[in-house]
Structure 1
Amino acid sequence: MQEQILQAFQRNANDEALALAQQWVEQSPGQAAPLGWLATALRQRGDIDAALAALDQALALQPEDAGLHLQRATLLLTGRQFEAASEALARTTELDPNQLDGYLIQAHMALAQRDFERAQSLSRVASRLAPEHPQLLAIDGMIALQQGEADKALALLNQAAAQLPDDPRILYGLGFAFLAKDHLAFAEQTFRKLIAVQPDSLPMMALVADLCLRQGHADNAAKMLEQMLATGKGNTAGVRRLAAMIQLQAGQPQAALEHAVASLQEGEIDRRVLQVALMAWQQLGADDQARQVLDQLLETHAQDHGLWLARLAVEQVGSEAAAAVAQRWVEAMPEHVPAWEVRMRLHDMLSQPEQAEAVARRIIELEPGRVSGEQRVVGALLERNEADAAVAHVQAMIERADEAARPNLRTWLGVVQDGAQRPADAVATWLDIRQAEAGERLALPPQAKSPMNWPEMAEIGEDTHDRPLFVTGLPGSGVERVLSVLGAASPVVRTDRFGATPPNDPFQRFDTLAQLASGELSAEALVQQWRDALPGRGIANGNIIDCLLWWDNGLLWSLRQHLPQGRLLAVLRDPRDMLLEWLAFGGSYPFALNTITEATGWLQRSLEQLANLHDQSLYPVALMRIDGVENNPQAMAQLLGQVFGTAFPVVNQLPPARLPAGHWRQYRDVLGAAFNNLTPVAVRLGYPEN
């Protein structure tokens, strides 16, 4: 009977095998072997519970049979009853210490539970029985993989796969060993073999799709996603979302759109799917279809913020059609402030200032203190030359605000006073803010006097390959805007001197100049300490763009002799605009402004040092004047291109330019003495006297 059942299994005649096993059990009551074969037949049919019941009957008749315990453990694993399976396997090896499969399955279970120490222990025991067994090689390979020994893992798993080419566990380990070595094509091929063995393995399909994308094969990734959708369990909103994204990347907007719309109609509104749908509609030129589908979705999802934004995106910016959509939005969500903000901006775009102001006041009713509404109301008052009312509005906001919000509101009060052409009031407001925050900011760095003679500039050796670039900019210079573009162009830009964990080197410490003068710090040690800190900043050599917290020509005592290959980029604006910007907004540099006189003197001396550096060619330096291009991304990229002789990317989101170039002239009557002190160095740097 056993031979007949085996033959039935070989023909995939599982029903026949089950009938034969049942017949054998009936003919041989009280025998364990027929019940074991019945359990095997039931397992082939997928009836795990019935198979376990048959095995329990067999074990009741023959409780010391290690093979039956192993068979039961395998069934428990199939049903994901890991704890019971572990007990059965332990009983297997207890009854028969030579039961190799028991050790192997326990080791695989330990790997699944990420108990690598136990897996290794079981592997050592099993190796005494069959040291070259392919499953043992696979277990050792997967342990090596977890221990970071990718080469060893790959060798062992390749050897195991040569003996058992279709074993899912071996293929799984081998695929991840290839991944650890970044052999993406081999990993993809291995996981595809695993899918052939386990055709319903959705995680493997998703992994293969990802590997295809990483290799630039979006079309193959799209095919794999279609295969996932063809399976019963794979046809989900999440898989459709992924398929939409990949089909769009593969250049198939129509297929992407079908999946995206199906996903949106089946489940929650997903922002990523909406984006794919919008891009597909745009590529297909199907605006009317987009309006129709989005309007249908809005019938059942009228409270969805992202869906309304998508609907607006179909219309031309600032058009009457866009305004009509925004009106529908506020009617559907009358308490939703972002909807009213869109409505307000569209009124402004359509030259409807009165309606825009009315909406702004509605926003303030819904959320008192909301910046967008408050700014629009104050702006309207200034436009009508109601300066007193504009200032009073902001002052009332300051009185109502909590302590944390007041500094920003007071800065804005100065801006409103500036807009109201009250420069004396603006200066008083800003100076009060700067003095209040002075205790939380750094004291101005000390400044060295220029010597009669500088040390000789060292020669740059032929074997010198590092060319560090130091970047500096005084408060109000707008250096942060230049750094935004440099950072987008180069991975070696470092602005960590302004962060929470700055490098501990002489360029960071304000006592460096005094230490150089006293001999406590040698000129050579300054550069060496800077170099020693570079690896901790992620720089493998001296090629770095290092934004300095401060600059002083006294550093040249060291740089001329020990870093002649370095360069300095100094970002400038008109010194009088720099002082005004520093006063109004504090500057990106964390330096205290205690009095206008002190700040002016320090700024004047710093600029004179830069002028001397440039005029006397004391060190390779480029003075980069950004006046007029502070908030123009294209012009900023072009200016940097002229300075460095190479193309730079356009960074559309530069830090904001606060006051326009030349605005200092509006403050001549209030800051005349300070401007007079700065005018000589301004002229020296190429700016007009008046």
Structure 2
Amino acid sequence: MQDKIIEALRRNANDDAVSLAREWVAAEPQQAQAHRWLALALQQDNQLEQAQASLDQALALAPEEAALHLQHAGLLLALRQLEAADQALDRSTALNPNEFSAYLMQAHLALGREDIDEADRLIRLAERVDPDSPELGAVQGMVALRRGELDRALGVLSAAVERLPRDPRLLYALGFAYLGKDMPAFAEQAFRRVLELVPDNQALRGLLVQLALRQGHVDNAAEVMREVLASKGGDTPGLRRLAGELELASGQPLQALEHLRPLLSQLPGDRGTLQMLLVAWQRLGREEEASAALDAALEAHPQLHDLWLARLAIPAVGSPEAVAVVERWLSAMPDHVPALEARMRLHDMNEESDAAEAIARRIAALEPGRVSAEQRIVEALLLRDAPAAAAHVQALVDSAPEAARPSLRSWLGTVQDRGGNPAGAVATWLQLHAEQAATRLPLPPQAKAPVEWPALGGVADDNAMRPLFVWGAPGSGVERVVTVMAAGSRVLRADRFGATPPTDGFQNYLTLQRLATDALTPEQLVQQWREQLPARGIADGNVIDWLLWWDNALLWALRPQLPEGRLVVAVRDPRDMFIEWLALGAPAPLALTSSMDAAQWLARSVEQVAELHEGDLYPHLILRTDEAVNDPAAMGALLEQAFGVRFPQVRSLGPGTVEAGHWRRYAQVLAAEFLYLTPVAVRLGYPEA
């Protein structure tokens, strides 16, 4: 519905947008987002007072949502209803104030529908009319906020507030700029100044409660909440929900229950309320009360999905009571796919395989391509007819839209692998890699080892800097190592794989060539890396830096210039690494255009690891991940043994990968590729066959 409203707003079909939004509100009257979009549609239709009423309703339902408050600030600016701001505006009488206001109004509407470029265009038009208007600064600040230009937003809004220190609209926007900069104390100060000017803004008090909680000021939050609930009009469903959250955070489940229980009739399908109610009941040991209360709510509202999920959370998983709840759910909503999925899982838990498959086929008939159903159907086929399972997935690939085909083709390869068809799996995986090659990185260049390495520098006794580099070739499981390391360290940086990586030599494929030609000196390489650490949140140089690529030629710089560093390399049997690379890709999006080229490149990469280890070329640690890639506990134990410290338990290391020794199933299909990988596998201590 949201997308339809946005589309109507963009084509200026205001009546359609309002009608769609009213339909949404009628269907989900307790959904804050429905009221929010009705407010925006009404605002665009110039029904400002009705827009204000709708937004007030949204804030009553979700007073903790910052986006609603930001829209409220924009609406106040559009309304131009606060006398203090109007009196402060000092415009030349030669200008047309109506034209200026129209530009601002349209800019706010564009912001509301997330059309940032259009808002910016309108601001530039308004700037021609009155470039010095503080009101204009507020809108400029909001545009900067939406673009993530937080420093600019703070500067613009702070300057505007200096000129209009009692304008609640500007203070509102300034508070959100501080929030964006993760400066909750300053944001709280700005919002408190708003409340001094507009004391009846109860929703803003709810946001102040959230800010106090973020800063660990539970007592302050509780005090504000008591004031809110006791004030006229302050006892709204959204604020009462916040009160329940606050009591739970304070370890007071009974008081939380007192706040939350009445909301079952006011917000019966609100997921956040239901989750907190379940927590309160569980802490108090009142499962029977919980069941009775939710059953009563379901009598009145049998079509609410989240209410059924809450009821299903009470009995033991897979128990007869859970089955009874799901059967009731299906009676109330016989074609509701999530209810059918719950019944399918319960059939599997109770080893009723045929019934589970039957439900899966029913789901697939209702919603063709539904992942849960198709996976269950394929699992059943794999047990009795592996070629049929592969054919079923192939049919899904053929009928899927283009964007969905890569993941489905990857699944097809996995099904062929599990079904004993290694040749089919390899062909499927290689086809997928070929299709993606144009959007992937080329394989990193590899240099030959020099005749002699530069001497390893000394480390001063008072040097507390001990940076750690982490790397693993494709298929090594290095990303699983990093998952556990990240759980135990705040200095691990994986930004080299993100949208804004550092721009040092470790990120640049041309670094080896530049080092070889003296276009980049070893001193410059290390100095560039050091200079970028503060921007990456590292003040003292102690970082765990997950590298995009590695080549021993980097030691030409690291040995003399960073002797205090260490390198951790993840490895497993190179033949298993190759299979995983084919099947699952790699953390670095590397192009794999030929199985032979990839095998030769991988063999050279692992040979460099062997040379590093055998020659002790740099302080390093080899982590053999063969037995731990699919086991979080085993990976934690491996790292604990390596570093001598305990790592937190993580729930998952990611999608399952090939088990150790899986490569043997491909000994014939990939015999030519394994001719390159087997010698280096033996060199690392793995069996030849």
TM-score of the pair, normalised by structure 1: 0.71
Amino acid across the alignment from 1:440: T
Shift in Å, 1:332: 2.0
Shift in Å, 1:620: 0.9
User: C-alpha offsets along residues 149-168 of structure 1, whole Å, 9 cap, x if unaligned?
Assistant: 99x99xxx9xxxxxxxxx9x
Shift in Å, 1:618: 0.6
Q: Return the alpha-carbon distance in structure 2 between the equivalents of residues 213 and 184 of structure 1.
A: 11
Whether the 8 Å CA contact 1:468–1:567 is kept in 2: the answer is yes
Shift in Å, 1:490: 2.7
Q: In the alignment, which residue of structure 1 is the partner of 2:283?
A: 283
Q: In the alignment, which residue of structure 2 is the partner of 1:652?
A: 651
Q: Return the alpha-carbon distance in structure 2 between the equivalents of residues 85 and 625 of structure 1.
A: 66
Q: In the alignment, which residue of structure 2 is the partner of 1:612?
A: 611
Q: In the alignment, which residue of structure 2 is the partner of 1:273?
A: 273
Shift in Å, 1:333: 2.1
Residues 1:527 and 1:221: Cα distance change in structure 2 (over 3 Å): closer
Q: In the alignment, which residue of structure 2 is the partner of 1:248?
A: 248
Amino acid across the alignment from 2:600: G
Secondary structure at the residue paired with 2:260?
A: helix
Question: For the pair shown, which has the larger CA radius of gyration, 1 or 2?
Answer: 1
Amino acid across the alignment from 1:251: G
1:383 aligns with 2:380: no
The farther-off stretch of 514-523 and 209-218 is 209-218
Whether the 8 Å CA contact 2:184–2:214 is kept in 1: the answer is no
The farther-off stretch of 595-604 and 432-441 is 432-441
Within-5 A mapping of 1:190-229: 202=202, 206=206, 209-210=209-210, 213-214=213-214, 216=216, 218=218, 221-222=221-222, 224-229=224-229
Amino acid across the alignment from 1:342: A
Q: In the alignment, which residue of structure 2 is the partner of 1:258?
A: 258
Amino acid across the alignment from 1:435: A
Whether the 8 Å CA contact 2:525–2:557 is kept in 1: the answer is yes
Q: In the alignment, which residue of structure 2 is the partner of 1:41?
A: none
Residues 1:216 and 1:430: Cα distance change in structure 2 (over 3 Å): closer
Shift in Å, 1:455: 0.7
Amino acid across the alignment from 1:239: L
Q: In the alignment, which residue of structure 2 is the partner of 1:630?
A: 629
Within-5 A mapping of 1:482-631: 482-631=481-630
Q: Return the alpha-carbon distance in structure 1 between the equivalents of residues 440 and 88 of structure 2.
A: 69
Q: Return the alpha-carbon distance in structure 1 between the equivalents of residues 205 and 575 of structure 2.
A: 63
Q: Which runs of 5+ in 2 are unaligned?
A: 1-79, 91-129, 136-153
Within-5 A mapping of 1:10-25: none
Whether the 8 Å CA contact 1:492–1:539 is kept in 2: the answer is yes
User: C-alpha offsets along residues 41-61 of structure 1, whole Å, 9 cap, x if unaligned?
Assistant: xxxxxxxxxxxxxxxxxxxxx
Q: Return the alpha-carbon distance in structure 2 between the equivalents of residues 89 and 399 of structure 1.
A: 63
Q: In the alignment, which residue of structure 1 is the partner of 2:352?
A: 352
Q: Return the alpha-carbon distance in structure 1 between the equivalents of residues 230 and 369 of structure 2.
A: 53
Shift in Å, 1:464: 2.8
User: C-alpha offsets along residues 605-651 of structure 1, whole Å, 9 cap, x if unaligned?
Assistant: 11111111112211011111122222322222232222222222222
Residues 1:490 and 1:87: Cα distance change in structure 2 (over 3 Å): closer
Q: In the alignment, which residue of structure 1 is the partner of 2:316?
A: 316
Secondary structure at the residue paired with 1:421?
A: coil
Amino acid across the alignment from 1:233: G
Secondary structure at the residue paired with 1:248?
A: helix
Amino acid across the alignment from 2:245: M
Shift in Å, 1:89: 13
Whether the 8 Å CA contact 2:369–2:396 is kept in 1: the answer is yes
Secondary structure at the residue paired with 1:234?
A: coil
1:328 aligns with 2:328: yes
Secondary structure at the residue paired with 1:399?
A: helix
Shift in Å, 1:474: 0.7
Whether the 8 Å CA contact 2:630–2:657 is kept in 1: the answer is no
Amino acid across the alignment from 2:492: V
User: C-alpha offsets along residues 404-438 of structure 1, whole Å, 9 cap, x if unaligned?
Assistant: 22222222221111121111221222222223322
Residues 1:234 and 1:413: Cα distance change in structure 2 (over 3 Å): same
Shift in Å, 1:239: 1.9
Whether the 8 Å CA contact 1:240–1:262 is kept in 2: the answer is no
Within-5 A mapping of 1:44-443: 82-83=82-83, 147=158, 202=202, 206=206, 209-210=209-210, 213-214=213-214, 216=216, 218=218, 221-222=221-222, 224-384=224-384, 386-443=385-442
TM-score of the pair, normalised by structure 2: 0.71
Q: Return the alpha-carbon distance in structure 2 between the equivalents of residues 116 and 210 of structure 1.
A: 36
Shift in Å, 1:578: 0.4
Shift in Å, 1:199: 9.4
Q: Return the alpha-carbon distance in structure 1 between the equivalents of residues 327 and 241 of structure 2.
A: 30
Shift in Å, 1:473: 1.0
Whether the 8 Å CA contact 2:470–2:547 is kept in 1: the answer is yes
Residues 1:118 and 1:507: Cα distance change in structure 2 (over 3 Å): closer
Shift in Å, 1:293: 0.7
Shift in Å, 1:451: 2.1
Q: Return the alpha-carbon distance in structure 1 between the equivalents of residues 82 and 666 of structure 2.
A: 79
Shift in Å, 1:247: 1.1
User: C-alpha offsets along residues 157-200 of structure 1, whole Å, 9 cap, x if unaligned?
Assistant: 9xxxxxxxxx9x9xx99xx9xx9999979x99x979x99x9997
Q: Which runs of 5+ in 1 are unaligned?
A: 1-79, 91-114, 121-142, 158-166
Secondary structure at the residue paired with 1:670?
A: coil
Shift in Å, 1:351: 0.4
Shift in Å, 1:327: 2.1
Amino acid across the alignment from 1:478: G
Whether the 8 Å CA contact 1:303–1:333 is kept in 2: the answer is yes
Amino acid across the alignment from 2:243: A
Q: In the alignment, which residue of structure 1 is the partner of 2:127?
A: none
Whether the 8 Å CA contact 2:89–2:134 is kept in 1: the answer is no
User: C-alpha offsets along residues 433-476 of structure 1, whole Å, 9 cap, x if unaligned?
Assistant: 22332232222222111222211001112443322211111111
Residues 1:85 and 1:558: Cα distance change in structure 2 (over 3 Å): closer
- Report sequence identity in percent: 53
Whether the 8 Å CA contact 2:134–2:160 is kept in 1: the answer is no
Secondary structure at the residue paired with 1:497?
A: helix
Whether the 8 Å CA contact 1:523–1:558 is kept in 2: the answer is yes
Amino acid across the alignment from 1:432: Q
Q: Return the alpha-carbon distance in structure 1 between the equivalents of residues 199 and 439 of structure 2.
A: 64
Larger RCO of the pair (alpha carbons < 8 Å, separation 6+): 2
Number of aligned pairs? Answer: 545
Residues 1:601 and 1:252: Cα distance change in structure 2 (over 3 Å): same
Amino acid across the alignment from 1:344: M
Q: In the alignment, which residue of structure 2 is the partner of 1:32?
A: none
Q: Return the alpha-carbon distance in structure 2 between the equivalents of residues 214 and 376 of structure 1.
A: 43
Secondary structure at the residue paired with 1:404?
A: helix
Residues 1:267 and 1:560: Cα distance change in structure 2 (over 3 Å): same
Q: Return the alpha-carbon distance in structure 1 between the equivalents of residues 614 and 438 of structure 2.
A: 37
Whether the 8 Å CA contact 2:469–2:566 is kept in 1: the answer is yes
The farther-off stretch of 525-534 and 307-316 is 525-534
User: C-alpha offsets along residues 73-127 of structure 1, whole Å, 9 cap, x if unaligned?
Assistant: xxxxxxx97459967999xxxxxxxxxxxxxxxxxxxxxxxx998999xxxxxxx
Amino acid across the alignment from 1:357: E
Residues 1:509 and 1:333: Cα distance change in structure 2 (over 3 Å): same
Whether the 8 Å CA contact 2:570–2:622 is kept in 1: the answer is yes
Q: Return the alpha-carbon distance in structure 1 between the equivalents of residues 483 and 437 of structure 2.
A: 27
Residues 1:452 and 1:257: Cα distance change in structure 2 (over 3 Å): same
Residues 1:118 and 1:394: Cα distance change in structure 2 (over 3 Å): closer
User: C-alpha offsets along residues 318-340 of structure 1, whole Å, 9 cap, x if unaligned?
Assistant: 21211221222233223322221
Q: In the alignment, which residue of structure 2 is the partner of 1:109?
A: none
The farther-off stretch of 556-565 and 200-209 is 200-209
Amino acid across the alignment from 1:296: A
Q: In the alignment, which residue of structure 1 is the partner of 2:477?
A: 478
Q: Return the alpha-carbon distance in structure 2 between the equivalents of residues 207 and 502 of structure 1.
A: 34
